[in-house]
């Protein structure tokens, strides 16, 4: 009797087994800090290439918000940089269990403040050919933690956030973003990369 073998299942290209780790993966350490929760907050991102070289480093003061919001801003900044610089494979390490578990789909996002940030992060991550996020102990995220706290210490405005020369980013003079009007204020769906107290001009267009 002639036997027929079952057709081989073809998996999507972006699904990588942890036993078959892709090559040329960039690694991002992200962290958010808040003194008061809500209170003065900041975030930090350090991205290294597959050979361990730092290609991007940023410590940014956010203003008054929560630690969880700061954590999401850090993640979105890392993903934004990856997409903008054609980095196709990214592994993110964070000491925030909430952030990691929500991005993994293990925790639901119940906060109305975090939902647009979560959706933005998921959209950016889906643009990569490989994305993996993992929870690490705080001591293994100490560089990003120190950078975030340094940004808080500089929040008087006397010093500007630290960037590595490799980042080579020039903020655009104009930018279109989405925002939701709630409780008398506009809530942007993504980081604005503005200094505390900086003035901007808004043009409102209903969607």
Query: What pLDDT, on a 0 to 100 scale, did the predictor assign at position 154?
Result: 85
Residues ≥6 apart with Cβ < 8 Å to 113: 66, 69, 187
pLDDT, averaged across the chain: 81
CATH number of 26-169: 3.30.420.10
Query: What pLDDT, on a 0 to 100 scale, did the predictor assign at position 99?
Result: 98
Predicted confidence (pLDDT) per residue in 176-201, tens digit:
667 776 666 777 766 665 544 455 55
* Predicted model pTM: 0.69
Residues ≥6 apart with Cβ < 8 Å to 146: 44
Q: Where are the domains of the chain?
A: 26-169
Q: Is the pLDDT of residue 97 over 90?
A: yes
């Amino acid at each position: 009797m002639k036997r027929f073998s079952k057709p081989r299942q073809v998996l999507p290209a972006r699904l990588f087994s942890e036993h078959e780790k892709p090559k040329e993966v960039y690694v991002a350490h992200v962290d958010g800090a808040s003194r008061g929760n809500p209170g003065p907050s900041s975030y930090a991102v350090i991205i290294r290439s597959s050979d361990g070289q730092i290609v991007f480093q940023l410590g940014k003061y956010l203003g008054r918000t929560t630690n969880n919001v700061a954590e999401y801003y850090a993640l979105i900044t890392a993903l934004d940089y990856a997409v903008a610089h054609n980095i196709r494979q990214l592994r993110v390490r964070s000491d925030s269990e909430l952030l990691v578990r929500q991005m993994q789909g293990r925790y639901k996002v119940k906060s109305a403040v975090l939902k647009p940030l979560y959706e933005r992060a998921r959209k950016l991550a889906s643009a990569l050919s490989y994305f993996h996020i993992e929870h690490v102990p705080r001591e293994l995220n100490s560089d990003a933690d120190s950078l975030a706290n340094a940004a808080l210490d500089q929040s008087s405005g006397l010093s500007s956030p630290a960037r590595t020369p490799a980042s080579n980013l020039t903020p655009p003079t104009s930018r279109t973003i989405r925002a939701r009007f709630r409780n008398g204020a506009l809530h942007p769906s993504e980081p604005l990369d503005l200094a505390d107290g900086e003035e901007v001009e808004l043009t409102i267009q209903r969607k």
